[in-house]
Amino acid sequence: MPTDAKDRVRLQREARLLAGWHEVRTWVPSKKDALDVQALARERRAKASLGQPTIGKDMVPKNLERMLAAIANQGSPDYSSPSGPILDALSEIAAEGDVGDVARGFQLFAHAKPTNAKFVAAHIPAKILNQYVFKHRGLLASSFFKWESENQGWADELKQALRSPTAFEATVGAMASAIAKA
């Protein structure tokens, strides 16, 4: 948790850079030019908050629609968390077995709302475990607990792979296969 405004700004900057955003600092010759640049920046941030369709180009169309709707619904009072819509959408996609689209959906969200990405990423391991491993694959909790005793870092491994759909899919697949054998 950030301790002061300077720390909060540093963490937000890091989140935006991780999501692929670019920081621009420039000098302009007039106050009007400064206002124009600020207006353009606001417009581009608003456009980014709608999601980056090129990131979702490889997603199943219904999953892309689901994610874009969830991003647009970010902060809805219908949820106890501002990221509730995205967390629900990722749960549904995981329960349907499309772990590649979980990662792609996360990337889409992280680009649109980079300062919430860390919060959402922290919830992905539980979504994969409950919705994919238990619900979709039908694996037993007892098998998971046996496997987990030797794989304590599994949640961090999933979060690390999250920014690459191919790596995420492979990591989740290997994890589920190992749990099935436990």
Helix, strand and coil percent figures for the chain, each rounded to 5: 70, 0, 30
59: burial class by Cβ within 10 Å (0-12, 13-18, 19+)? buried
Q: Is residue 58 part of a domain?
A: yes
Q: Is residue 57 part of a domain?
A: yes
Q: Is residue 140 part of a domain?
A: yes
pLDDT digits (tens, 9 = 90+) for 19-36: 778 888 889 899 998 888
Query: Structural domain of residue 161, as residue ranges?
Result: 50-181
Q: Is residue 31 part of a domain?
A: no
Instruction: Give the pLDDT confidence score for residue 8 in this predicted structure.
Output: 81
pLDDT digits (tens, 9 = 90+) for 142-180: 999 999 999 999 999 999 999 899 999 999 999 999 999
Which residues, including other chains, have CB under 8 Å from residue 67's CB and lie 6 or more apart? 51, 56, 59, 86, 89, 105, 108, 109
Cβ-contact 85, 73 below 8 angstroms: yes
Number of domains, the chain: 1
Q: Is residue 41 part of a domain?
A: no
Q: Is residue 42 part of a domain?
A: no
**At residue 47, does pLDDT exceed 80?**
no
Instruction: Give the pLDDT confidence score for residue 44 in this predicted structure.
Output: 80
The pLDDT-based confidence of 45 (bands split at 50, 70, 90) is confident
Residue appearing with tokens 């991003």: 71
Instruction: Give the pLDDT confidence score for residue 4 in this predicted structure.
Output: 85
pLDDT digits (tens, 9 = 90+) for 90-112: 999 999 999 999 999 999 999 88
Higher per-residue pLDDT: 90 or 18: 90
78-95 average pLDDT score? 96
Instruction: Give the pLDDT confidence score for residue 165 in this predicted structure.
Output: 93
The pLDDT-based confidence of 55 (bands split at 50, 70, 90) is confident
**At residue 1, does pLDDT exceed 70?**
no
Q: Is residue 38 part of a domain?
A: no
Q: What is the Cα–Cα distance from 97 to 1, expressed in whole angstroms?
A: 33
Q: Is residue 15 part of a domain?
A: no
Instruction: Give the pLDDT confidence score for residue 52 in this predicted structure.
Output: 62
Which residues, including other chains, have CB under 8 Å from residue 175's CB and lie 6 or more apart? 128, 133, 147, 151, 154, 157, 158
Residue appearing with tokens 């391991």: 125
**At residue 5, does pLDDT exceed 90?**
no
Query: Element (H or E) spanning 65, and its range?
Result: helix 61-72
